[in-house]
Amino acid sequence: MKSKTMLALAAVTLTAGAAWAPLAAAKPPVANFAVTEAEVLAAQKAWGDALVQISKDFESGGRAKATATASAVLDAAYGYKHGPVLFKPTLTVAPQTFRHTQEGALAYFVGGNKAFPKDDGFALKGWRAVEVANDAIILEGDVAMTQGNVTLTNAKGEKTTVDKTWVYRKDDEGKLRIVVHHSSLPFSPK
């Protein structure tokens, strides 16, 4: 009879079980590859801080210093090392609107690249503060998406508000990387 077999099995296992200690009550390790809201907010703040830093480095050390900083920022905060990034900066124009290579992104931030003649360096405009106001956030596993306003303040206290979408992907080291960035000036009805 089958249920007898099962009980026998249970007994055997129980006996075997008696010979060894049960798993310790210690909490098992939990590896969490998902992006949290706190990580998203920290990544947004870091982006703003980096923009201000590039502006200040430009002022103290010229384009060379700003370029070094911007290049490091792009390496650290964007996903260009792992593939194309969907980047539509605020002020680019066709036919170079989209910057899916790191070279194109760097040109946008600091200018000075003849291959992108209309770029004069968005990050060099004397930025002093960046404020993010998210409209909504989606946490989708190792990907997180945000949309809302970002307000930039320059050294004269002038503010520019843009509509911004970011998508982040958490990499193997647990660091968020921007894989989508769409920024646009607010629509102005005529």
| Per rule CB under 8 A, count of chain residues that contact a copy of itself | 91
Closest CB 143 distance from a copy of itself, rounded Å: 5
CA contacts within 13 A on the Cβ side of 152: 23
- Positions 120 through 139 that interact with a copy of itself (CB under 8 A): 120, 122, 124-125, 133-139
Tokens for 54, please give them.
Answer: 């590039």
- What CA–CA distance (Å, rounded) separates 14 from 6? 12
- CB of 54 closer than 8 Å to CB of 68: no
- Positions 59 through 78 that interact with a copy of itself (CB under 8 A): none
Closest CB 175 distance from a copy of itself, rounded Å: 10
Q: Is 145 in the site for a copy of itself (CB under 8 A)?
A: yes
Q: Is 38 in the site for a copy of itself (CB under 8 A)?
A: no
Tokens for 190, please give them.
Answer: 């005529």
Question: Dmax over Cα atoms in the chain, in whole Å?
Answer: 88
Buried b (16+ CB within 10 A) or exposed e, 142-168: bbbbbebebebbeeeeeeeebbbbbbb
- CB of 67 closer than 8 Å to CB of 40: no
- What CA–CA distance (Å, rounded) separates 170 from 36? 10
Closest CB 113 distance from a copy of itself, rounded Å: 14
Q: Applying CB under 8 A, which of residues 45, 100, 103, 117 lies at the interface with a copy of itself? A: 100
- Positions 77 through 96 that interact with a copy of itself (CB under 8 A): 81-88, 90-95
Identify the CA nearest to 43 among candidates 167, 183, 185, 162.
167
Closest CB 53 distance from a copy of itself, rounded Å: 18
Q: Is 10 in the site for a copy of itself (CB under 8 A)?
A: yes
Closest CB 45 distance from a copy of itself, rounded Å: 15
Q: Is 103 in the site for a copy of itself (CB under 8 A)?
A: no
Q: Is 143 in the site for a copy of itself (CB under 8 A)?
A: yes
Closest CB 40 distance from a copy of itself, rounded Å: 9
Using the contact rule CB under 8 A, the part of the chain among 8-16, 47-55, 65-73 near a copy of itself is 8-16
Tokens for 40, please give them.
Answer: 């998203």
